[in-house]
Structure 1
Amino acid sequence: MLSVAVVASLLPAVPSVAQAQTHAEAGTTYYVDSRAGDDAAAGTGAGTAWKTLAPVNAADLKPGDTVAFKRGSAFTGPLTLEASGTAARPIVIKSYGAGPLARISGADDDCVIVKGNHWRVSGLRASGCGWAGFRLDGDQNELAGVHADRNIAGVHVTYSGSRNTVRDSVLADNNRMSVNDEGGDNDSGAFGVLLNGDDNVVTGNTITGSFARSKDYGFDGAAVEVYNGDRNRITHNTAGNNETFTELGAKKGKTASGNVFAFNVVTSTRSRGSFLITRGPRHIVGPVKGTVAVHNSVHLPGRHTIGWSCHHGCAPSILKLRNNVIVVGGQAGWEDGKGADEAGGVYKGRTARFALGPKSVMADPRFSSASDLRVRPGSPALDRGVPLTHSWYGGKDFAKDAAGRPLTGAPDAGAFQH
């Protein structure tokens, strides 16, 4: 007769309650491989991966589930994500394998459409899509480590999208127009990120090449466009060769209030461009109230450039600027009306039409180079800034400079602290 110990060793292992709970929380992982997959397969292993987006779109995904896309794959969109996770158990999109990010394209629609809530999307490239590479209709979703290119908008957060995060991604050459006709002052397009929703965060991204020819304006486009979106925080992004870094507007009767731009590094080698454009009440898409631009570093040496413009009834309630370093080949800043609320900045340009605030100065900040906007020893930006509370740059989570250093002591002007 076998001993009790031997009999026990022959029985299948039974997971503990804690192990079973951990497995349940992990959910199911589905795999998608455009080269070796089969839509008739189970999809629950790398060897039984699906081939197209159709079974993903049809899947009854639950909180805690994951969909993994094989690197090197290519798909025709859209990928439509309608289910919802929870804060504790989001639904995850990620990559597996080696090679370039899985690419989704398709001229008939947006490529990746997130309609649900609590998604964590990474490891995808959306390229050459009908309008947006990634469209966020839901709430509390996150895009991280994605790539969007050759779209009208790399990322579009729609009017229903709120409390989403777009971080650590590459949004390059989104350089197509959606409206481009003669007259009407209505051309639109070429957005790295378009924010129509409220309370979203755009941080740590590289945004380049957001410009396209426009019949109304010559060129148009923006790294981050805000239209009707309130209280969005745009921080710690690196932007290059965009038509403008940000332009803000609101439909009459709507608002685009309380948006914060902090610790962004903005450069361009183009002959024209701007950092920030906002409007007062006399403009057709104004007023835009409560915009805050703080600790940004800007170098736009082209002749037809402008640092910031606050027009058609500028006032301190429209635009507040603190501790920025702005060097342009054209106009350092422009205001009308009562003017913006400005302090702690360093400016250099051929012309300027605004009143310097406390501690601000017109001087060469002595950038390290045209692309490295850290300042050299002896720069007038050192200790130039005025002390600020965390609310000025979006909260304690953003209390660091463009290089990730915590803010301590007397602040320097610009995105980098020394």
Structure 2
Amino acid sequence: MKRHLLTTLFICFCIIANATDYYIDSQKGNDNNAGTSEDAAWKTFANVNDKLFNPGDKILLRKNGVWEDSLAPKGSGTKENPITIGVWGEGGRPRINGNGQVNATIYIRNASYWIVQGLEITNTAPGRGNTYRNGILFENDGAGELYGIVIRDNHVHHVSCSFRYLNGVDPHQYGGISVSVSHTSKGTDKYRDVLIENNTVEYSGRTGIVVWDYTWAEPGQSTTGVVIRGNTVREIDSDGILTFGCDGALIESNYAEGCGAYREDDGFNGAAAIWSTRGRNCIIQYNEACHTYKLEGNADGMGFDHDLDCFDCVIQYNYSHDNEGGFVLVIDASNSTNNIVRYNISQNDKERVIMIAGGMTPHTQIYNNVFYIGDGLDTKIIDHLWDEGGDVNAPWIFKNNIIINHGTGGYSIPGTGGIFLNNLYWENHHPTEPDEINKITRDPMLMAPGTGKKGLESLEGYKLHKKSPARKAGVVIDHNGGKDFWGNKLPVNEAPSIGVHQVDK
């Protein structure tokens, strides 16, 4: 037993000891150098792209360096010793320009345990055309299960990607940062443990940040362990942040502004800022989505979305404001079920607050949100557009919400399956406003509604006064998430407050 342990430790020590740092310097490097020290750095990516890297190796780009090229190294790390693409030296981020000539400025195919951090990436072409360009692309193309991808603290911008569906490829799959299972996958190719955090992606598309797995139909078949956290996506051609075919994806604490900024005459132009689709158990929380565009030919333009074939997914504790298409899309054109929208704040979203399309997803729960519509707006609170593919009469609930409507918009409620209870409606009462049990039509006595600015910390105005009629006036909801917008504990068997703030005393 001791002999086997010593052998294992010796092998691990050898792997660590053999790990090498490789240096690339666009100004003073030379590809005839060894590349293994700052004074003997390589100049271009030629040697890097020809080399098979080992666990623990580092590929370090000198700060202030600029390359007109694509970085496409090979090899896999291990959980304990990933391979890293990073930086060295002083100054600004090293910048790699793909110039629209490459599929991806950084391209890592069929590899596990990589970290990419600290870089500036572009891949700009005069037009989007028929090319699926990417800033950073990890692709699984027949490699089975791949593990441990980390993409952190990069600035990706001006990536020009096609909007067109070509040769079986979906354009949503690519853009600024993409971790993608190829469209040629046979169903066994997956990613496990993907972390995309603290990146800035702007002026890029089609999608800003996307994790995509073509096989998603049954539990256990999906990509797992996905976390997309703390990123900023801005002025994205179409969707800001998207997961497709993931089980248990966590999308949190991101900022999305100005998504859906481009339209193409012969492409699909629908867009939402942050959403999941063909997924299970995905959670979208603590994000801010604002100023999403709704250009001609785009029926969407929402901040958030429970899309096709979402099962047991949750949108909670988010801040949505000034989105041209509205707060959230709930779409059911196949077999979605059991999705939740709770403890969110929508302020001055346009067109509508909630868009229901393709029938109603069965057992959807929309509760304990605050919807604020300012003066001069014609925002519909609930808007039902089309029924193809879904059940318009499926059961769903709308409870414990506060609706402050200074505008003129009303309600288009689908079918007969909705249960409306204990909601509070204030200011303008449209003739289509629901007539429900325990309806409240008094001033909710929020601290300062409508005063939210940029940042979730600006939303103190949505807290309740202690004498609010919304205090302890809600209906009990099982498995309510356990806490309100500010982290206050929710009661289990007692009536909660209506809205996003729990007031107990």
TM bin, normalised by shorter chain, reads 0.7 to 0.9
Partner of 2:183: none
1-structure distance, mates of 2:381, 2:121:
41
2-structure distance, mates of 1:149, 1:308:
27
SS in 1 for 2:16: helix
Q: 1:358 is matched by which residue type in structure 2?
A: L
Partner of 2:421: 358
User: Is 2:158 aligned against 1:104?
Assistant: no
Partner of 1:313: 359
User: Is 2:195 aligned against 1:142?
Assistant: yes
CA contact (8 A) 1:153 1:192 kept: yes
CA contact (8 A) 1:360 1:384 kept: no
CA contact (8 A) 2:62 2:87 kept: yes
Deviations 1:278-335 (A, max 9, x none): 2234xxxx44333221211111254xx2111223321543x22122112234011235
Q: State the shift of 1:412 in Å.
A: 5.6
Q: State the shift of 1:82 in Å.
A: 5.7
Deviations 1:46-98 (A, max 9, x none): 44444445544444333444444445444456544764444444444445544
Q: Which has the higher contact order (CA 8 A, sep 6+)?
A: 1
Q: Aligned in 2, Cα 1:360/1:66: closer, same or farther, shift over 3 Å?
A: farther
Deviates more, 1:380-389 or 1:147-156: 380-389
Q: Aligned in 2, Cα 1:301/1:259: closer, same or farther, shift over 3 Å?
A: closer
Identity fraction in percent: 19
Superposed counterparts of 1:160-199, under 5 Å: 161-175=223-237, 190-199=238-247
SS in 2 for 1:24: helix
Partner of 2:397: 341
CA contact (8 A) 1:316 1:341 kept: no
Q: 2:122 is matched by which residue type in structure 1?
A: S
CA contact (8 A) 1:213 1:220 kept: no
2-structure distance, mates of 1:383, 1:82:
59
Superposed counterparts of 1:77-96, under 5 Å: 78-80=70-72, 83-96=75-88
User: Is 2:16 aligned against 1:24?
Assistant: yes
Partner of 1:296: 344
1-structure distance, mates of 2:401, 2:197:
32
2-structure distance, mates of 1:41, 1:236:
48
Deviates more, 1:356-365 or 1:288-297: 356-365
1-structure distance, mates of 2:411, 2:269:
23
Q: State the shift of 1:212 in Å.
A: 2.8
CA contact (8 A) 1:84 1:91 kept: yes
Q: Aligned in 2, Cα 1:34/1:218: closer, same or farther, shift over 3 Å?
A: same
Q: Aligned in 2, Cα 1:64/1:339: closer, same or farther, shift over 3 Å?
A: same
Give the number of equivalent residue pairs: 366
Q: 1:104 is matched by which residue type in structure 2?
A: I
2-structure distance, mates of 1:380, 1:30:
65
2-structure distance, mates of 1:55, 1:325:
56
Partner of 1:206: 255
Q: Tell me how large the CA RMSD over aligned residues is.
A: 3.7
Deviations 1:234-293 (A, max 9, x none): 11112221231123443xxxx33232212111112x6x2211112234xxxx44333221
Deviates more, 1:89-98 or 1:150-159: 89-98
Deviates more, 1:39-48 or 1:137-146: 39-48
Instruction: Structure 2: state its 5+ residue gaps.
Output: 1-8, 94-117, 125-130, 140-145, 162-174, 181-190, 215-222, 293-300, 385-391, 427-443
SS in 1 for 2:157: strand
User: Is 2:489 aligned against 1:408?
Assistant: yes
Partner of 1:114: 138
CA contact (8 A) 1:82 1:114 kept: no
Deviations 1:363-399 (A, max 9, x none): 365426142333245266665666667x765xxxxx7
Aligned partner of 1:267 among 314, 321, 330: 321
SS in 2 for 1:191: coil
2-structure distance, mates of 1:60, 1:356:
60
Deviates more, 1:195-204 or 1:41-50: 41-50
Q: State the shift of 1:230 in Å.
A: 3.2
2-structure distance, mates of 1:288, 1:387:
25
2-structure distance, mates of 1:41, 1:140:
36
Superposed counterparts of 1:67-78, under 5 Å: 67-76=59-68, 78=70
Q: 1:129 is matched by which residue type in structure 2?
A: V
Partner of 2:370: 325
CA contact (8 A) 1:228 1:249 kept: yes
SS in 2 for 1:290: coil
Q: Aligned in 2, Cα 1:238/1:408: closer, same or farther, shift over 3 Å?
A: same
Superposed counterparts of 1:275-286, under 5 Å: 275-281=327-333, 286=334
1-structure distance, mates of 2:476, 2:383:
24
Deviations 1:148-176 (A, max 9, x none): 1112211121125542211111111112x
User: Is 2:142 aligned against 1:61?
Assistant: no
Aligned partner of 2:290 among 240, 254, 263: 240
SS in 2 for 1:60: coil
Q: Aligned in 2, Cα 1:377/1:153: closer, same or farther, shift over 3 Å?
A: same
CA contact (8 A) 1:299 1:326 kept: yes
CA contact (8 A) 1:295 1:413 kept: no
Partner of 1:8: none
SS in 1 for 2:53: coil
Q: Aligned in 2, Cα 1:353/1:25: closer, same or farther, shift over 3 Å?
A: farther
2-structure distance, mates of 1:162, 1:217:
30
Q: Aligned in 2, Cα 1:345/1:146: closer, same or farther, shift over 3 Å?
A: same
1-structure distance, mates of 2:269, 2:15:
53
SS in 2 for 1:139: strand
